[in-house]
Amino acid sequence: QSNSYTSKIVDTENLPMIGATINEVGTQNYTVTDLEGLFTIETESQDFQLDISFLGYETKRVYVTNGNIPELIEMMPAAGQLDEIVVTALGIKREKQALSAGVSKIDGTTLRVVPQTNLVNSLAGNIAGVQITNGSSGVGSSSRIIIRGENSISGRNEPLFVVDGVPISNQLITSDLTNDGALQEVDFGNGASEFSPDDIESISILKGAGSAALYGSRAANGVVVITTKRGEPKKGLGISVNNTITFETLLTLPDYQNEYGGGSNGEYSFQNGTGAGINDGGLASYGPRLDAGLLINQFDSPSVDLDGNPVRAGDVLSRKRPDGTYTPIEATPWVSRPNNVRDFFETGLTTQNSFAISNGGENGSIRVAYNNLRNEGILPNTDLKRDGVSIAIDQKMTQNFRFDGFLNYINSRSNNRPNLGYGYENVVYGFNWTGRQTDIAAMKDYWQKGYEGLEHYDINYLWLTNPYLTLYENTNSFNKNRVLGNGALTYDITDKLSFRVRTGVDSYNDDRAFKRVVSTNRNPFGSFREDKIAYREMNTDALLSYNDKISDDIRFSVAAGGNRFDQKIDYAYSEASQLSIPGIYTLANSRNPLKGTSQIFTKRINSIYGIGNISYQSSLYLDLTVRNDWSSTLPSENNSFAYYSAGMSYVLSNMFELPEAISFAKLRFNASSAGNDTDPYQLNNTFQFNQNYGSFFRVTNETVLKNANLKPERLNALEAGAELWFFGSRLQAEVSVYQNSSINQIIGRPISNASGFSNIIENGGRVTTQGLETRISGKIIRSKTFNWNASVNFSTYRSEVTELPEGVDQFVTGDAKFFGGSGGSNAIFYIAKEGGRVGDMYGTGFVKIDGKILYGANGLPVQDGNLRLLGNYNPDFSLGFGNEFSYKNLMVNVLVDWRQGGVLASRTKALGSTAGILKETLVGREEGIIGEGVMNIGTEENPNYVPNTTSVSASRFNNNFYDRGNEESSIYDASYVKLRQVGIYYTFSDNVTKTIGFQGLKLGIVGSNLLLFTENPHVDPELNGIQDRNFTYGVEDMSYPSTRSFGISLKSEF
Amino acid sequence: CTKDFETINENPNATENIDPQFLLANVISVLANENTYTQGFRLSNYLTQFAASVEFERIDRYEMGTNSEYWQILFGLLTDINSMQSVNGTNEAYIAVGDIMKSYIFSQLTDLWGDVPYSEALKAKEGITQPKYDTQESIYTDPNTGILAVLHQSAETLGSTTASINGDVMFSGDLEKWVRFANALQVRYTMRISKRISDFSNLKALVNSGKLMESNGDNAVLPYLNTAPNQFPLSQVGLGLYQEHRMTTTVETILKSWNDPRMEVIYRPSEKSASSGEPKYTGLQNGQSRETISANNIDLAEISLFGSIYRDVPNGVDALFMLYAEQQFALAEAAEKGFIDGDVEQYYTEGIKAHFNYLGLDVPVDYMNQESVALAGDGNLEKIMTQKWFSLVSNGHEAWFNIRRTGFPVLTPGPDNLNNDRYPLRYLYPESEQATNAKNYTEAVSRIGGDNINTSNWYD
């Protein structure tokens, strides 16, 4: 039997609302209000809930018990969302409208739409002014985050990560492998990547120095403030379980040619892989035509050993007769294998599971969570495993005394992380030199017959190393145990005065092991190395705060406090650079004296700070902050430095009658000045230990000249912003403009080696960054069943060097290796000239006559050693476009990311062209290449330039044109458009979930990095390389293919 | 609250003070290895046609590059010498030995690149981060600060000092050997600039002083060792890099014309001939691209590689600065040109004998009487310089400097050279100088006549 219930919907002015939608929760029972605002709904139940929705107003849920429905239901404008609370510096919560500096907030739910394996990546494309770049070694790679461009030219531009008001480490501590010479870089991930998004309630990004001034020096590049999830007051246990499984496949791969195999001059024949055959010790892919019916001896062609047993041709040791000749090889078809590299990669598999249980009541709450990640990478035998346990507690101990705490234990580990960079330890480098006919899968059995564990099996024994051997035997493992947590005690002395002490710790031990098997090119005797890193950071602060009002219109708060920061990093390694017995990986098995070092870095900062806020009529807010730091890293006479900020927020819509369409309007201004210190031990030079010569102990000077007169850096920031909301909250627009001036930067400036040092630590230069960010979001379609929300964020910035250090006419801010050979290295130099942009890259290139490349009499392009501007690695702008569609229980989320401008120097392009593996190297294979440009038919003194007519073989031409020391030939536009993420979720209706005993159940299909549009057909321009323990900018360094991932996500609540 | 800050920021990982001996050991051993392996074996052996490349080494085709790592290492070692000469515990012997090594390093710099920073170099601590370049002439000949003057003064000091040194991995603290080395270097550098000077009185005085090198026992060399990191690097590298260095047709032609057994020590028979039981030494023409080698159907298994002392044992060779043999050849040239009195033939014969002995060989009977070897008036200089050339295999770029200066032996650029058939005369300045020292770089470039590999040296 059904009853009917009637009520009236009104707005805050008591006027009827026409056309509001009423839905009985959990049913398909809908109705709308009439011209008087009245509705009638029929239902069988006496206890039910109604959801009332109206455009521009907060959806309201009405609970009806025993059939008692209220006569009037009042709706609040959605502008009521203005009460949105944002966590700002020191964990202080503020109304968003009171903020004077740029802050973006992102909810945990948004972060989790498409679960990412690296927390930093989930911020990509979502927030104006935040730029994310990924590492290239798949799941577990480091991601770099830059907020509002680069203020510092020293490369230290990463924001500070803060959990519940206490900083944590996002430091990238790579092993110092390149100085070793025998090993290549390995990316073990950035610190913040390990934090589980499932433990996050929300993230606030404090963008400007203004909002960050209270966090001290590390916050000058912005702050990522993470607020952890807490137990929620509810009846019974709240249990939530999230499960995601995703698959990773290749998004990019070099565009290979498939018409010519390995060799030179159209010739190839395998004999022993060291030159005894025809070009079988060579590396180029300018060999015989593929798929032309040829039969050619290859490394995997059948042969016999000396006893006549079948072996592969590449089992050369068993084929070699005492007289130095080899047993015969049975030639096999010389055919293309277009997917040989693609098929080498496996489908990556990642599962992420989290389980959380929470409860809360009047006096406190608790939340306990466990999450794990299991990844098998796209490269064979690479993986990442992570387990995290967290516990969050809030407890009221007396009426005035409470404790909040968060503790997180994370274990991350891997049996093998792939090597990066230039050299055969990176399998992609090997593929570059592997003829296109090669059946790479035939290399899986990677030992030579009869020499298992001693000699590997390969296509070329001069230069290459079997990629399966590399990945299965030459492993880089790590095991990292991390504890981070914080606890705070708050005592409300009166209802206006309260005192809080809080301490936080981030501590981890990371043990790494590097194994190298015998017979590889770089380590013929094998090697073994262990790295141990112990990191500890501790922050303790105390804050006394007082809130009061002078009248109802004027309220104020003041707070004062202090902080101590301690950081200690222990780094040690020991290495057996050659093994005595193959296959035994222990330091005791060393043929040579062990190599190694142990180093300790410590640092302390003491701080005091004060805050004052005053507000008038909830419309005009004034904020003042001041902080002073004393850092152990600076000379005693300069180790004290202050920070100031002043800000104003003015909510016009609360003060004036604005046109009806405008529901909210706010202007804000902020000015701030922040200081910064440096790393430990930058003041005095010391001697470094060099390994012994025999029994003679050796020391040498550092290459960096330290400076005992360093001053703190200073960053001055100005920011103005406006926010306008239209039609309730239906359309929201925000715009910020800012200018950051960085003065007295502490950098290790490259100087002439002839001065005795290669870098000098000094204060110098002024970099000014100006930028603009906007965000427009709207609820484009709202209806009973279909909704579409969209948002666009746009940001652009430009950093210029506006003042050079004294006596310096151009400012070299760094360099990136591009090619190192026995005749000297080629680097890309980042040079800031006065008025030049930060990120300008200089390198060598071609001699040009009126813009046309000059060719010599030999038909090859003429290069000179002069540095010239190649481009700038910074984008002109970036734009993110997010969409959320919902139709009944279905929700679709789509995020597109567009980066425009900037250039990338690609080593994949340079090497691939030299080797002849890329598709574009097919041009001119038969007829030769006439380079486009001019030649000189006059004399050197009286030149006469005419169009070049000299034809050269493609192999010689490409070898010279794409000379690896000629950076100009391998520059790409780094612009791209990416379909960053798609999530499609179906929420099961309450009827369904209740039947199976759930409180909520969502099933989703998720995908990341699904599509990429860019000029470079070979690599993803977004990936960044790591060289010498740092990220490299604007240089792609034999990066692994980037991946797309897709899978299924299930979110359930009990 | 900042009381303990200075303690916190005191670097516990390294020291600010050190005994000079540890710096001396570093300078000598690092420099000797650079000179012999990185510079001599990997680079100069191509330019001087002791080695030919089959795949990668661009220098064999005269794509010279900048050799920038060496530039950086040399200035770094100069900084170490400065420290050695100023730390607590230094003395006039360390200072004089340091000055000898400094002179050696600055000669390397100017011989490889031309005008280089000298008088303003190494003064970053005094605020000069962009040092001006000095002329090659002044670097060698300045009467007070030039290399020759400094070497002369250092030898004088060491001849009279009572101070002693430790950490001397080369001469074990025998200062008399340092004096002989300093004097031999004066011979080397006097001949280097001999076209531009007319006063050879110092050279004559040196010859008469009895303080030149007198035997292989005075050689300025130190051994590679059996264990890392002091092994001869070629014994540890991948096979490809080893096989990049082939015996050349130049060596084959010259050494076979001398019937010279030294070829069999420096090189090894080709793989094919060795396994067939009839060992043969065959060279490869320099400066061929891989396409040309392939087009000429050259079977690389029939080409000789460097010998067992370079590859099969980690300590088969020495790290070199200067051999007694080189000094004797230099004196032979000086006598031949009349710069000094003395018997050309005696110096020449002594040089050949010293190098044979250094390699553990005796000079074969009748070796000296062969027409290709015996001095006969005409062509003496070519014979002296060609014998000297071979005694300088892997010894830094010394053989190249002699070829640039005298034209002997006459070398033909390879067919695929990228320098229009011209023989290169210098390296390009490191790119980092353009970036960090632009004004002085530009000034030097215009003074020497362009930053390219064909710009000639003042003394050539």
For the stretch A821-860, what's the b/e string if a residue is b when 16 or more beta carbons lie within 10 angstroms of its beta carbon?
Answer: bbbbbbbbbbbbbeebbbbbbbbbbbebeeebbbbbebbb
Residues of chain A with Cβ-Cβ distance to B243 below 8 Å are: 274-275, 281, 462
Structure tokens at A137: 């070694």
Question: Does A591 touch chain B if contact means CB atoms closer than 8 Å?
Answer: yes
| A497-516/A234-250 β-pairing | unpaired
Closest CA of chain A from B29, distance in Å: 7
Structure tokens at A556: 């104020």
Q: Which residue of chain A is at minimal alpha-carbon distance from B415?
A: A858
A672, β-bridge pairs: A645, A717
Closest CA of chain B from A997, distance in Å: 59
Q: Inter-chain contact A701–B80, Cβ cutoff 8 Å?
A: yes
Residue A807 has pLDDT above 80, yes or no: no
**Considering the domain boundaries, does residue B360 fall inside one?**
yes
Contact B58, B43 (CB under 8 A): no
Q: Which of residues 680-719 of A touch B (CB under 8 A)?
A: 680-681, 683-694, 696-701, 703, 705
Question: Does A284 touch chain B if contact means CB atoms closer than 8 Å?
Answer: yes
Closest CA of chain A from B334, distance in Å: 33
What's the ipTM?
0.95
Q: How far apart are CA A136 and CA A216, in angstroms?
A: 32
Residues of chain A with Cβ-Cβ distance to B121 below 8 Å are: 754-756
Structure tokens at A626: 């001041």
Question: Mutation test of the interface with chain A: which of B417, B428, B436, B443, choosing the one with the most A Cβ atoms within 10 A?
Answer: B436
Number of Cβ within 10 Å of residue A63's Cβ equals: 12
Handedness of CA B189, B191, B192, B195 (dihedral sign): positive
Least CB–CB distance from B65: residue in A282, A462, A965:
A965
pLDDT of residue A420: 86
Residues of chain A with Cβ-Cβ distance to B114 below 8 Å are: none
Q: Which residue of chain A is at minimal alpha-carbon distance from B70?
A: A824
**Considering the domain boundaries, does residue B380 fall inside one?**
yes
Residues of chain A with Cβ-Cβ distance to B10 below 8 Å are: 681
pLDDT of residue A80: 44
Least CB–CB distance from B275: residue in A278, A323, A750:
A323
Task: Domain of residue B403: give its range.
Answer: 20-229+317-448
What CATH number did the domain enclosing B419 receive? Answer: 1.25.40.390
Least CB–CB distance from B69: residue in A462, A824, A844:
A824
| A840-846/A786-803 β-pairing | unpaired
Contact A830, A840 (CB under 8 A): yes
Q: Respond yes or no on whether the N-terminal peptide bond of residue B229 is cis (omega within 30° of 0).
A: yes
pLDDT of residue A79: 47
Q: How far apart are CA B303 and CA B287, in angstroms?
A: 15
Closest CA of chain A from B435, distance in Å: 6
pLDDT of residue A211: 64
Q: Where would I find the H helices in B55-165? A: 68-84, 92-113, 136-141, 147-160
Amino acid at A71: E
C-alpha distance across the termini of chain A, in Å:
31
Average pLDDT, integer, range B139-149: 97
Question: Does A752 touch chain B if contact means CB atoms closer than 8 Å?
Answer: yes
Least CB–CB distance from B9: residue in A282, A681, A965:
A681
Helices B175-192 and B92-113: crossing angle in degrees, nearest 10, is 30
Cα–Cα distances (Å) from B264 to B36, B349, B353, B356, B362, in that order, read 20, 21, 17, 12, 13
pLDDT of residue A212: 63
Q: Inter-chain contact B9–A632, Cβ cutoff 8 Å?
A: yes
Structure tokens at A512: 């790494």
pLDDT of residue B55: 79
Closest CA of chain B from A523, distance in Å: 8
- Fold match, A3-76 / A162-250+349-425+474-839+874-902+977-1053: no
Q: Nearest-CA neighbor of B48 among B300, B421, B409?
A: B409
Closest CA of chain A from B167, distance in Å: 7
Residues of chain B with Cβ-Cβ distance to A705 below 8 Å are: 124-125
Closest CA of chain A from B268, distance in Å: 15
Contact A9, A39 (CB under 8 A): yes
Question: Mutation test of the interface with chain B: which of A461, A564, A695, A755, choosing the one with the most B Cβ atoms within 10 A?
Answer: A755
Average pLDDT, integer, range B76-97: 98
**What phi and psi values does residue A583 have, to the nearest 5 degrees?**
85, -5
CA angle, A852 as apex, A848 and A858 as ends, to 5°?
75
Closest CA of chain A from B220, distance in Å: 17
| A1043-1053/A1000-1014 β-pairing | antiparallel
Residues of chain B with Cβ-Cβ distance to A750 below 8 Å are: 432, 435-436
Residues of chain A with Cβ-Cβ distance to B438 below 8 Å are: 809-810
In whole angstroms, what separates CA A446 from the centre of its chain?
35
Token match 């290669």: residue? A758
Task: Give me the count of residues in chain B.
Answer: 460
Question: Mutation test of the interface with chain B: which of A752, A825, A841, A846, choosing the one with the most B Cβ atoms within 10 A?
Answer: A752
Cα–Cα distances (Å) from A211 to A207, A890, B291, in that order, read 7, 38, 63
Domain ranges for chain A: 3-76, 162-250+349-425+474-839+874-902+977-1053, 840-870+903-973
Q: Which residue of chain A is at minimal alpha-carbon distance from B129?
A: A755
| A640-651/A620-631 β-pairing | antiparallel
Residues of chain A with Cβ-Cβ distance to B227 below 8 Å are: 591-593
Window from A159-168, A496-505, A914-923, B183-192 with minimum mean pLDDT:
A159-168
Q: Give percent of chain B above pLDDT 70.
A: 100
Closest CA of chain B from A398, distance in Å: 34
Residue A809 has pLDDT above 90, yes or no: no
Residue A954 has pLDDT above 70, yes or no: yes
Residue A836 has pLDDT above 50, yes or no: yes
Contact A561, A543 (CB under 8 A): yes
**Considering the domain boundaries, does residue B241 fall inside one?**
no
A504, β-bridge pairs: A486, A539
**Considering the domain boundaries, does residue B112 fall inside one?**
yes
Least CB–CB distance from A600: residue in B13, B430, B431:
B13
Structure tokens at A647: 């800000």
Structure tokens at B264: 């069999």
Q: Which residue of chain B is at minimal alpha-carbon distance from A685?
A: B16
User: pLDDT category, A83, cuts 50, 70, 90?
Assistant: low
User: pLDDT category, B321, cuts 50, 70, 90?
Assistant: very high
Residue A237, classified by CB atoms within 10 Å of its CB into exposed (0-12), middle (13-18) or buried (19+), is exposed
Q: Inter-chain contact A815–B68, Cβ cutoff 8 Å?
A: no
The count of domains in chain B is 1
Interacting residues of B199 by C-beta distance below 8 A, sequence separation 6+: none
Q: Give percent of chain A above pLDDT 70.
A: 96
| A130-134/A143-147 β-pairing | antiparallel
Average pLDDT, integer, range A493-516: 94
CA angle, B159 as apex, B78 and B330 as ends, to 5°?
70
State the average pLDDT for chain A. Answer: 89
Residue A546 has pLDDT above 90, yes or no: yes
Q: How far apart are CA A219 and CA A209, in angstroms?
A: 7
Q: How far apart are CA A592 and CA B227, in angstroms?
A: 6
Q: How far apart are CA A331 and CA B37, in angstroms?
A: 41
Q: How far apart are CA B254 and CA B250, in angstroms?
A: 6
Tell me which fold the domain A162-250+349-425+474-839+874-902+977-1053 belongs to: Maltoporin; Chain A (2.40.170)
pLDDT of residue A835: 76
Q: Which residue of chain B is at minimal alpha-carbon distance from A593?
A: B228
CATH superfamily of A3-76: Carboxypeptidase-like, regulatory domain (2.60.40.1120)
Q: Inter-chain contact B275–A325, Cβ cutoff 8 Å?
A: yes
**Considering the domain boundaries, does residue B297 fall inside one?**
no
Closest CA of chain A from B156, distance in Å: 27
Closest CA of chain A from B159, distance in Å: 26
Q: Give the pLDDT confidence of B200-230 residue by residue, as tens digits.
A: 999 999 999 999 999 999 999 999 999 888 9
Q: Which of residues 390-449 of A touch B (CB under 8 A)?
A: none
The C-alpha torsion from B134 through B137 and B139 to B141, rounded to 10°, is: -140
Helix or strand run (H / E) with residue B380: helix B380-391
Average pLDDT, integer, range A318-341: 94
Contact A793, A880 (CB under 8 A): yes
Q: How far apart are CA A278 and CA A274, in angstroms?
A: 10
Average pLDDT, integer, range B256-263: 98
Window from A3-12, A529-538, A602-611 with minimum mean pLDDT:
A3-12
Residues of chain A with Cβ-Cβ distance to B291 below 8 Å are: 264-265, 286, 953, 955-956
Interacting residues of A996 by C-beta distance below 8 A, sequence separation 6+: none
Q: Inter-chain contact A281–B432, Cβ cutoff 8 Å?
A: no
Least CB–CB distance from A602: residue in B8, B15, B427:
B8
Task: Give me the count of residues in chain A.
Answer: 1054
Residue A56 has pLDDT above 90, yes or no: no
Window from A621-635, A846-860, B2-16, B26-40 with minimum mean pLDDT:
B2-16
Question: Does A860 touch chain B if contact means CB atoms closer than 8 Å?
Answer: yes
Q: Where would I find the H helices in A226-368? A: 316-319, 340-344
Q: Where would I find the H helices in B210-297? A: 239-243, 249-257, 263-266, 271-275, 290-295
